[in-house]
Amino acid sequence: MSRYGKRAGLIVHEEEPFNVETGSAALAEGPLTATDAFYVRSHGSVPEIHPAEWRLRVHGVVERELDLSLATLREAFRAREVTATLQCAGNRRAGLIAIREIPGEAPWGAGATGTATWTGVALADVLALARPLPGAAHVGFDGADLCPEAAPVQCFAGSIPLDKACRPEVLLAWGMNGEPLPPVHGAPLRAVVPGYIGARSVKWLDRIEIRSTACDGFFQHVVYRLVPEDGTPGPGEGMPLGLVALNADVLSPADGETITAGPLEVRGYAFAGGERYVARVDVSLDGGASWSQAELLDDLGPWAWRHWRIMLDFAPGEHEILVRAWDSSAATQPEDEAALWNPKGYVNNARPRVRVRAAPA
Amino acid sequence: MSRYGKRAGLIVHEEEPFNVETGSAALAEGPLTATDAFYVRSHGSVPEIHPAEWRLRVHGVVERELDLSLATLREAFRAREVTATLQCAGNRRAGLIAIREIPGEAPWGAGATGTATWTGVALADVLALARPLPGAAHVGFDGADLCPEAAPVQCFAGSIPLDKACRPEVLLAWGMNGEPLPPVHGAPLRAVVPGYIGARSVKWLDRIEIRSTACDGFFQHVVYRLVPEDGTPGPGEGMPLGLVALNADVLSPADGETITAGPLEVRGYAFAGGERYVARVDVSLDGGASWSQAELLDDLGPWAWRHWRIMLDFAPGEHEILVRAWDSSAATQPEDEAALWNPKGYVNNARPRVRVRAAPA
């Protein structure tokens, strides 16, 4: 067991702040990711919070400010459960770094994502008690984790539109996969914003601000923005990320693996993001000249990815497995990974390619 | 003036049923498309309806069936206005036909789309009066237009999820661009479902059915579905279309045009579909090796496309203008038009390419 209750064998990008990625084998275990294998993306140290002393302040453009204990949150609101995929905006950055370096950013593979069942209260119910006033348009989340990389140094924060905040799937969560939320995942309370980049599911929540404008902090106004290839990240530069873009990857076989020629099951995930669902996943062994449809596995509801599988026959020799997912708008992924390169290495959602060698049986 | 009040010069795909496309020049006139230039996609003849005798029946999985006159609709509910882009699923089919023929389908260019301000009542308000019962999950629209191409012959119909139907932007409309809705666009009443393919904005509405399942009629269960390239359209085959996929096109200059070398303004549209917005439009003159960001013009709200423009300098010689739009999930369009070919020719949302020759000034 490594730190923070995580199992051995995770891909550690950084010990402090703690940043670990789930390996493909652990993701392939099933559509729900085990808590001890779930990725952790943090920008500051895990803060020490005493649950009995902790309070959640709700303020800003509201009729009634709130100051709630964990006990009140649990007693005053209906408990809700949502199964949701979280995905870091830097998922699959390694593919972009292979094209051109991205200084200061970790080479996350395709495991900066995972799916869990989250338990808590609906943010909408808390907002209903606070009663947003006319002019309220965004809901900001403030964490307790001080982030040395931010300029100026500040706690992690982010906001979502009020319209999304009022939908029932957005939780203030204290539970993860049927157990208490572990400290490394944001205990005592975190936001869970299904369909949005992981950065909006702010951990170690201690303040919710109802605002007329989007969060202007470092982690929304300076980073977690898509800047054009030839642009320079800076305050307000590029487009703010929010909804997750359609993405997919192969979980098995691994890139570079030597397999035995003959039939082999190929497995992976696809995630539509936003309010969309995965409608189809195609796999090609001939560079996209022809495609076969993969079987979509367990449907865990509108906020979760879909695992998929397909049996393919591999002749002896070199192969490239090419995948494209389609979302419910019949949109599919872009082909060219190189053309997606951007200075911070976000949103690599190019069609994944996995090269394998099939050795004669 | 051609038939049905349409201006001369529209691209007529079919006289009966009436199918006309807006030319690029008319689309480029502004972000709101003039009614006399607005595209018409119909599968049957324009039905003759006497407004005074017309009734709207609302039935199905509801507590209270309704049978409403136009006068009651206007008097009993609050009038609402929404500016929304409609886009046919067959928009830009011509690009797919150029790759491989699609028998029986018209070669729509990039003008099977337009933006209008629609006036009517919120479907949600009518549903609130009817009170959907537990089990209600879809809202079906039935038109009065008999469609000979359907098997069996039937009136045009389609459904949307109840969740979407309850959102305030979905209208039952009697007005278009500040005038009474013209017969060819669905008078006395049509559905307007912003963000969805045009086929769900059913015209000549006479019945709304609240259902537990999606519409199983020809125009949803057999066609308007994306079938894999090697598949065969048939009942339930492929994925049902619904949300519009991110798309864009160049409105000026025209493909094949000879321009004068030097600076020239390039104009076009981009439409994100669904609940997304256009976040950025890039234009390249070097095949995608480098991109410049276009200026996004008038923002007509969350349900309308964005027109865009950019000044580019054209050296004498041949050029290809390549465009890619990005939506609010930071997803962009696929590159390869050929790979999007499908048996009915829907959802061509490949990055548009326009070839021009710049003659020395």
ipTM: 0.94
Comparing alpha-carbon positions, the chain A residue that sits nearest to B325 is: A334
Instruction: Assess whether pLDDT exceeds 80 at residue A2.
Output: no
The arithmetic mean of pLDDT across residues A285-300, rounded, is: 97
Q: Is A328–B239 a contact, with Cβ atoms under 8 angstroms apart? A: yes
What does the pLDDT read at residue B361?
A: 87
What does the pLDDT read at residue B1?
A: 53
pLDDT band, very low/low/confident/very high, at A295 (cuts 50, 70, 90): very high
Q: Does the beta carbon of A239 lie under 8 angstroms from any beta carbon of chain B?
A: yes
> Average pLDDT over chain A, rounded to whole?
97
Comparing alpha-carbon positions, the chain A residue that sits nearest to B342 is: A330
Comparing alpha-carbon positions, the chain B residue that sits nearest to A287 is: B339
Q: Is A226–B330 a contact, with Cβ atoms under 8 angstroms apart? A: yes
Using CB atoms within 10 Å of the CB of residue A67, give its burial: 0 to 12 exposed, 13 to 18 middle, 19+ buried. exposed
- Within 8 A of B229 by CB-CB distance, chain A residues are 290-291
**What value, to the nearest 5°, has the Cα angle with vertex A142 and ends A52 and A68?**
35
**What value, to the nearest 5°, has the Cα angle with vertex B81 and ends B80 and B82?**
125
Could you write out the DSSP letters of every residue in A10-33? -EEEETTTTEEE--HHHHTT-SSP
**What value, to the nearest 5°, has the Cα angle with vertex A37 and ends A192 and A309?**
90
Rounded distance between C-alpha atoms, residue B303 and residue B273, angstroms: 8
Q: Does the beta carbon of A330 lie under 8 angstroms from any beta carbon of chain B?
A: yes
Q: Does the beta carbon of B232 lie under 8 angstroms from any beta carbon of chain A?
A: no
Asked if A174 and A189 touch (Cβ cutoff 8 Å), the reply is yes
What does the pLDDT read at residue B123?
A: 98
- Within 8 A of B326 by CB-CB distance, chain A residues are 226, 239
Asked if A213 and A144 touch (Cβ cutoff 8 Å), the reply is no
% chain A with pLDDT above 90: 99
pLDDT digits 0-9 by tens, A245-261: 999 999 999 999 999 99
φ, ψ for residue B26, nearest 5 deg: -65, -40
Q: How far is B47 from chain A (nearest CA, A)?
A: 31
Tell me the pTM.
0.95
Q: Is B239–A326 a contact, with Cβ atoms under 8 angstroms apart? A: yes
The arithmetic mean of pLDDT across residues A305-324, rounded, is: 98
Closest partner residue to B334 (CB to CB) among A280, A329, A332 is A332
Comparing alpha-carbon positions, the chain B residue that sits nearest to A331 is: B245
Spans of chain B, pLDDT less than 50? none
Q: Is B336–A288 a contact, with Cβ atoms under 8 angstroms apart? A: yes
Q: How far is A4 from chain B (nearest CA, A)?
A: 32
Q: Which of B176, B39, B44, B43 is nearest to B110 (CA)?
A: B39
pLDDT digits 0-9 by tens, A132-176: 999 999 999 999 999 999 999 999 999 999 999 999 999 999 999
Q: Is A239–B326 a contact, with Cβ atoms under 8 angstroms apart? A: yes
Closest partner residue to A274 (CB to CB) among B329, B332, B336 is B329
